[in-house]
Amino acid sequence: MARGNPGAIALGPGILYIAVLATPEPADLVTAWSSVSANWLQLGYTDEGSTFNYSVNSETVEVAEELDPVRYALTSRELSVEFALAEITASNLKRALNGGTITTPGAGLVKFEPPLLGEEVRTMLGWESEDHTERWVYRQCLQVGNIGIQRRKGSAKATLGCEFRVEKPSSGTPFSALMSSPTRL
């Protein structure tokens, strides 16, 4: 007798996407992201996939007549998506530093200049599972992680570590998740 649903086990790093704010979102699991909107661009290889973090902070409500809290009041919520980009490109620098300018000053050259303080650009992030049974969209994100590009010997590759915090968008909820039914119901 089965104790669970093996088809609901999620494997693999999936594929990360990035887009400008207000880009149309996928409405199904089959239409290519680029067909939904040309604004959805793949982020490329990562070091170890990605992690979605969701945490809620709360405070206890206490009364003199009870030893136990009578209620918990939610005080804040934090959402983030973390990954390390394994492709060191001017485009990925621009994404990891929340904007900036890319120019081609001469043949065979690409130049990146970071954004000035206060000119950071928020983005949308998307993620799709390897088996195409999940799609997640994070509607408004800002990269807040520290970036430390390590250059080491041997096969140790340089990466761009990113921690995108998910903010409340001007309308709607911070994220949505599409999953195949009934497998992931």
- CATH number at 98 reads 4.10.410
Instruction: Classify residue 7: in a domain, yes or no.
Output: no
Number of domains in the chain: 1
How high is the pLDDT of residue 184?
78
Task: Give residues with Cβ within 8 angstroms of 45, minimum separation 6.
Answer: 85, 86, 87
Instruction: Classify residue 185: in a domain, yes or no.
Output: no
Q: Please check whether residue 50 is in contact with residue 14, taking contact to mean a CB–CB distance below 8 angstroms.
A: yes
Please list the residues that pair with 51 across neighbouring strands. 82
Mean pLDDT of the chain: 95
- Up-side HSE of residue 4: CA atoms within 13 Å toward CB? 5
* pLDDT digit string (tens) for the chain, length 185 residues: 778 888 888 999 999 999 999 999 999 999 999 999 999 999 999 999 999 999 999 999 999 999 999 999 999 999 999 999 999 999 999 999 999 999 999 999 999 999 999 999 999 999 999 999 999 999 999 999 999 999 999 999 999 999 999 999 999 999 999 999 887 77
Instruction: Classify residue 6: in a domain, yes or no.
Output: no
Instruction: Classify residue 47: in a domain, yes or no.
Output: yes
How high is the pLDDT of residue 160?
96
Instruction: Classify residue 41: in a domain, yes or no.
Output: yes
Instruction: Classify residue 155: in a domain, yes or no.
Output: yes
User: What is the gyration radius of the CA atoms in the chain, in angstroms?
Assistant: 20
Question: Domain residues for 34?
Answer: 13-179
Instruction: Classify residue 105: in a domain, yes or no.
Output: yes
Instruction: Classify residue 5: in a domain, yes or no.
Output: no
